[in-house]
Amino acid sequence: MSRADKNKPFQALNIALMSVSDRHTLDTDDGALWLANAIAEAGHRCLHRELLRPNKYLLRARIAGWIADQQIQVIIVTGGTGLGDTDISEDAISVLFDRPVEGFGEEFRRLSFADIGSSAMQSRAFAGISNSTVIFVLPSSPAAIRLGWQQLIQAQLDARTGPCNMVGHLGGATCNHSTVTEADLPNR
């Protein structure tokens, strides 16, 4: 279980938000609108918010540009994670990773199972690290975005979360990792 170290300072991060959709505009994408507000409420900065139609090469180029931008520490992509022909996010983005974070997708599907049952296996939510930028990719439904942010991403973007968090892996961020003690380990 995560715990917060209130002695550590909060560190606001620079986040870029990308929606992949052939149905919405920036103004009608309720899930991404909610996420942009949640990012601000958490104390982080949303430096960019964009929407692209499903195009593997345009999406890959845009995300690669954000990865190269030293000001952007976190990228969150919504949409394009299913099994349909226009669900291109994994194919476009995963090739850019220096290191995948397999546990993110696994945990997202485990949590989703409580709400949507076996349909959770069709979600290709995933995450990875590239050039000291953490990239999270979520389904576009508002419920999936809320689940991903509230139960997984928000705590991992807070340097106070222990025993570990993603902040120490980010460019331009500092993280005072605490020493993991025997008490931090689960009972066996």
69: three-class secondary structure by DSSP: coil
User: Does the predicted model carry a pTM greater than 0.85?
Assistant: yes
Domain ranges of the chain: 12-184
pLDDT 10s per residue in the chain (188 long)? 566 677 788 999 999 999 999 999 999 999 999 999 999 999 999 999 999 999 999 999 999 999 999 999 999 999 989 888 899 999 999 999 999 999 999 999 999 999 998 988 888 999 999 999 999 999 999 999 999 999 999 999 999 998 999 998 997 655 444 444 455 445 54
Return the pLDDT at 82: 86
Q: What's the CATH fold of domain 12-184? A: Molybdenum Cofactor Biosythetic Enzyme; Chain A (3.40.980)
**Residue 179 corresponds to which tokens in the numbers above?**
């020493």
End-to-end CA distance of the chain: 15
Q: Rounded distance, CA 96 to CA 183, Å?
A: 37
